[in-house]
């Protein structure tokens, strides 16, 4: 009989097992709770610092991995203690535990990203709204208008409902900017941005589509209904309280078209409303015009004229002619004026029709610069002691595409010196932004270019030009010159121009000299240079005629006596 080993008390064994089990459970649960608590803290920190998420992303994933690993070890150990030495079952339990903990950790980690995504979505929607809103008026902008126009037209065609479009343009808005300043202009635009929506239904959509141009989409509205609505808004705009005290009332011109009454597509609807707006402005402004085929014909004429001018410029259907500017003392040619002529196959018979079409079609600036290019390109044979004079309209100088560098680039292309170029500004067209014009002329003058006031006496804006801009040459209109031989009043006006030139150091040129009898009184006044058919007709530069005339001899005493009899000051 063998001896059995002594057995430990059953109660003691159970105590040890329970102690180890409780210890393992406590350790494992503690590790899991610490890991989960850490993830919660990380998630909360991430949520409060969403802007810094990218920089701590790898750390959060590492922490989650460590937590899952700790959960695996703890679950495996706990399973061994509770189930016994069955490693396969322990591994399965550990895997389930680690996956569970990893899922919880992942959910806590993703929560801040969901908050960031929601924030980014809100920011994106705000950015889209800003991109479709005009910041000054708060109305929809040009892009929003065209997107909504396509949607509204598609809906109207699908459900066979009417849709009206009104395009309106503020009258004389540039004058408000020039006279009262751009801040006043912005106040007017904001006032219009408040005025238009106040007169519309909730379903109507107002937009600011350009500088001073607005558009209104009126669903379920026929042309007459749209006209009534816009009449009501115009009447409100004409009330002085609508604007500011410094700008007074506001007026606008408006063109209306509608679908399906006139148009069948979005582009056609817009073109018809724009043609009606053109008709309203041409008819005197402050009016509302509903589309008709007559408006379309007028707009088509303007469009075709603009296209014809563009073809003339693109294909170089321009020719240059030169008229001499002559000294009335000795008959020398001191310079020439470059004139432009449309060449076949251009559909214009004369320069006047060409420039009228360019102005109506918005091509005046491009035509002016093309004419200067043509004249300078043909002036290579001009003697070095003579200047070249070219015409430029004030609207071109005010246009965005004009600059002194544009003129200098033309001169550089043809090797013509800037100090031999004279730019003539006519007084027959009004200058709206005198500060801009003066600044651009000063930039040209610093490069050596000189300026002449053309057609003095032909209009009512010359005095402003003479007062605001220091001209190097004063060219007197031919009407004054041609009547000076028989009417002392016109001689008196010429005398005042000469006095102004004497004080400013400008050269005076009398235009339109067609008879020899006109020359002696001009010379007596102190006008020493002239231009006209009597002195030389326009023609090619190589054949520009040199006048063969002599000015009648006048003694200084005779000139002084004559000027004194006219009540004019004596010219030294």
Q: Which two tokens stand for residue 84?
A: 């016994």
pLDDT tens, position by position, 426-458: 655 666 677 888 888 899 999 999 999 887 765
Note the CATH number of domain 142-291.
Answer: 3.30.70.270
pLDDT tens, position by position, 148-194: 999 999 999 999 999 999 999 998 887 787 778 888 888 899 999 99
Helices 266-282 and 142-159, axial angle in degrees (round to 10): 120
Q: Annotated catalytic residue: which of 212, 287, 454, 455? A: 212
* Phi then psi dihedrals of residue 528, to 5 deg: -100, 0
**In whole numbers, what is the pLDDT of the chain averaged over residues?**
76
Alpha-carbon distance of 314 to 363, in angstroms, equals 12
Mean pLDDT value of segment 539-568: 48
Helix (H), strand (E), coil (C) string for 304-338: HHHHHHHHHHHHCCEEEEEEEEEECCCCCEEEEEE
pLDDT tens, position by position, 19-39: 444 444 444 444 443 444 444
- Pick 305-542's CATH classification: 3.90.79.10, 3.40.50.11540, 3.40.50.720, 3.20.20.450: 3.20.20.450
Please tell me the predicted confidence (pLDDT) of residue 371. Answer: 95
Is the pLDDT at 131 greater than 80, yes or no? no
Please tell me the predicted confidence (pLDDT) of residue 485. Answer: 60
pLDDT tens, position by position, 184-208: 888 899 999 999 999 999 999 999 9
Q: Is 472 a catalytic residue?
A: no
Most confident of 217-226, 392-401, 492-501: 217-226
The residue ranges of every structural domain in the chain are 11-131, 142-291, 305-542
Q: How far is CA 207 from CA 101, 157, 211, 245, 283, in A?
A: 56, 22, 11, 25, 25
Read off the DSSP letter of residue 545.
Answer: P
Please tell me the predicted confidence (pLDDT) of residue 224. Answer: 92
* Higher per-residue pLDDT: 257 or 173: 257
Q: What is the pTM of this model?
A: 0.49
Give the number of C-alpha atoms closer than 13 A to the C-alpha of residue 499, restricted to the C-beta side.
12
Residue appearing with tokens 């015009």: 289
| Res. 482 pLDDT band, cuts 50 70 90 | low
């Amino acid at each position: 009989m063998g001896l059995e080993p002594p057995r430990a008390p059953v109660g003691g064994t159970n105590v040890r097992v329970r102690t180890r089990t409780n210890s393992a459970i406590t350790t494992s649960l503690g590790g899991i709770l610490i890991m989960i608590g850490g993830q919660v803290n990380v998630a909360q920190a991430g949520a409060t610092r969403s802007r810094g998420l990218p920089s701590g992303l790898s750390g959060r994933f590492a922490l989650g991995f460590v937590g899952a690993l700790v959960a695996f070890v703890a679950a495996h150990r706990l399973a061994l203690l509770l189930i016994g030495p069955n490693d396969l079952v322990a591994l399965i339990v550990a895997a389930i535990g680690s996956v569970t903990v990893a899922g919880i950790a992942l959910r806590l980690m993703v929560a801040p990203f969901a908050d960031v995504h929601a924030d980014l979505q809100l920011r994106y929607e705000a950015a889209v709204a800003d991109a479709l809103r005009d910041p000054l008026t708060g109305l929809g902008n040009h892009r929003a208008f065209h997107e909504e126009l396509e949607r509204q037209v598609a809906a109207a065609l699908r459900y066979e409902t009417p849709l009206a479009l009104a395009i309106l343009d503020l009258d004389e808005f540039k004058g408000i900017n020039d006279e009262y300043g751009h801040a006043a202009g912005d106040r007017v635009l904001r006032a219009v941005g408040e005025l238009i929506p106040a007169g519309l239904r909730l379903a109507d959509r107002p937009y600011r589509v350009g500088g001073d141009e607005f558009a209104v989409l009126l669903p379920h509205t026929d042309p007459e209904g749209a006209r009534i609505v816009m009449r009501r808004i115009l009447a409100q705009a004409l009330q002085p309280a609508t604007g500011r005290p410094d700008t007074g009332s506001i007026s606008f011109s408006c063109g209306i078209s509608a679908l399906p009454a006139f148009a069948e597509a979005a582009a056609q609807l817009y073109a018809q409303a724009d043609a009606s707006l053109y008709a309203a402005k041409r008819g005197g402004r402050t009016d509302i015009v509903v589309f008709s085929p007559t408006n379309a014909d007028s707009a088509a004429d303007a469009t075709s004229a603009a296209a014809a001018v563009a073809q003339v410029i693109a294909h170089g259907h321009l020719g240059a002619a030169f008229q001499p500017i002559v000294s009335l003392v000795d008959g020398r040619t001191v310079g020439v004026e470059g004139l432009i002529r449309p060449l076949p196959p251009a559909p214009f018979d004369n320069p006047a029709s060409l420039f009228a079409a360019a102005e109506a079609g918005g091509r005046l600036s491009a035509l002016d610069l093309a004419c200067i290019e043509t004249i300078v390109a043909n002036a290579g044979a001009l003697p070095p002691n003579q200047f070249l004079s070219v015409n430029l309209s004030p609207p071109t100088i005010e246009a965005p595409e004009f600059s002194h560098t544009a003129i200098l680039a033309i001169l550089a292309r043809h090797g013509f010196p800037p100090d031999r170029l004279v730019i003539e500004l006519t007084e027959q067209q009004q200058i709206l932004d005198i500060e801009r014009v003066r600044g651009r002329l000063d930039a040209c003058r610093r490069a050596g270019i000189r300026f002449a006031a053309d057609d003095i006496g032909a209009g009512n804006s010359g005095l402003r030009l003479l007062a605001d801009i220091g001209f190097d040459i004063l060219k007197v209109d031919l009407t004054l010159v041609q009547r000076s031989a028989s009417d002392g009043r016109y001689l008196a006006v010429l005398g005042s121009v000469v006095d102004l030139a004497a004080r400013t150091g400008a050269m005076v040129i009398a235009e339109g000299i067609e008879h020899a009898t006109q020359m002696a009184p001009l010379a007596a006044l102190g006008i020493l240079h002239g231009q006209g058919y009597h002195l030389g007709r326009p023609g090619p530069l190589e054949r520009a005629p040199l006048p063969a005339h002599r000015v009648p001899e006048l003694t200084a005493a005779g000139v002084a006596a004559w000027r004194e009899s006219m009540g004019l000051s004596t010219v030294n």
